[in-house]
Structure 1
Amino acid sequence: MPDQPRPIRARALTSLPHGFLGREGGVSTGIHAGLNVGLGSDDDRAAIVENRRRATEAILPGALLVTLHQIHSADAVIVEAAFADADRPRADALVTDRPGLLLGILTADCAPVLFADVDAGVVGAAHAGWKGAIGGVTDATIAAMEQLGADRSRIVAAIGPCIARASYEVDEGFLIRFCEADPENERFFADGRAGHHQFDLEGYVAARLAACGIGRIEALGLDTYADEARFFSYRRATHRGEPGYGREISLIGLAG
């Protein structure tokens, strides 16, 4: 495994400091081996702190990392200054127009989404698991960016590594919930084994972004469940009966 993080970049965001990081380049060991940044994991605290430092330096050296206490909500917060880890807001998206802040979203199968309006100097990051996605977390992120002067016609978005449809089996009740919200959501489900379906989280998030008027959307198409060497996966760990799992981080900021 590489000694340093290797960020995955999105073409849509190349003018800004950003990156989707996997498990490569960290110091954690065991089931958390690699760049585990999850403060809520059972990993060694010193290793987590070092991994978060490495992630920050790989994207925007000297920046102040800002993350959330994520709760699978549709809530977005505007960040004007860094806050201590103990004071992290309970939300699932954050936006800023302040240079020197690095916004971070943690995932382990859910979809990380990075946003930018370069002209307005506004960036955002969202944690879109299925609950947040159907609840409108990406809609809330866009609205918060507009409060800072962004224009959705200029906003670009990139969807990072997440669990892919081939790996994401759900039951009939899950399908019904999405179809009751909008009958057209049926297109994000493929037939699976009896009584089950395969859900396209990435495709659903991309459609929500498009429905909000985002004209440029880049989906990286990387499956966290299938690629153990590069990514942590909650579902993979659960299927194996492992006692814990690591979290990867996706980052975006504005240079000073």
Structure 2
Amino acid sequence: MTHLLDIDNVSRHYGGLTAVGEFSGHIAKGERVGLIGPNGAGKTTLFDLITSYTRLSSGDVRFEGRSISARKPHEVARMGIARTFQNLRILPNVTVFDNVSIGALGHVGHSPWNSLFARRAISERISRLTMQALERTGLESLAGELAANLSYGKRKYLEIARALALQPTLLILDEPAAGLNDTETAELAGFVRTLSAEGMTILLVEHDMGFVMSLCERVMVMASGQKIADGPPGVISKDPKVLDAYLGSDVEEDAPAAVKAAEPIGEPA
């Protein structure tokens, strides 16, 4: 079986520190996969390795069967992998439309030929992709608003919109529910399900265990830079290694309710 994404024994070392050590995993097309672990487990570093924001010390990452380990971040994005960031990377003093158009430009690409002979067609395509992403995230009425004027929740969707404007096959979300209230979290869960139903493959990191366990079909768990578990949410929530990583103890009855039995959120009616 050919997976959409294959992560093959990847490592990242910083001097004597191992941020990620020989991590392997895969994601099939159309899956919703969660990546969880304690603070400092290496989750964001793994995302950086997948998207080439950080270079591998060893191992390989393959997307649709092709190695992407030596690619630059913008090349990885154009191949079909888009991501959001734990710390939002929006441009506050430009409009919502212009923020999202950066993603559309990343998809369309830039070349001397386009600049000289296809400027109007390229501009129209970027505008079309930008508005499609804004409509998809419910931000179309705010297209002319400065990003700085958006609420925190809307800024989350703005970053997702910019990622969607890249027309990705795989969408990587880094703590998308962080800082959201319960209502906003439930709405986001419903939105991610909608993207999944449309065929989008999702990989996400999140500390809200209720969000992860109710939304993801499979969960990978990291601790100290290594994968310690991989399986369905119901199995992961009872795995002694997972409980030990979060608690420093393998006694299941001491596990927080969020890890043992996460309440579903944002389920469709």
Structures share a fold, TM > 0.5?
no
Bigger proportion of residues as helix: 2
Q: Which has the larger radius of gyration?
A: 2
Scaled by the length of structure 2, the TM-score of the pair is 0.29
Scaled by the length of structure 1, the TM-score of the pair is 0.30
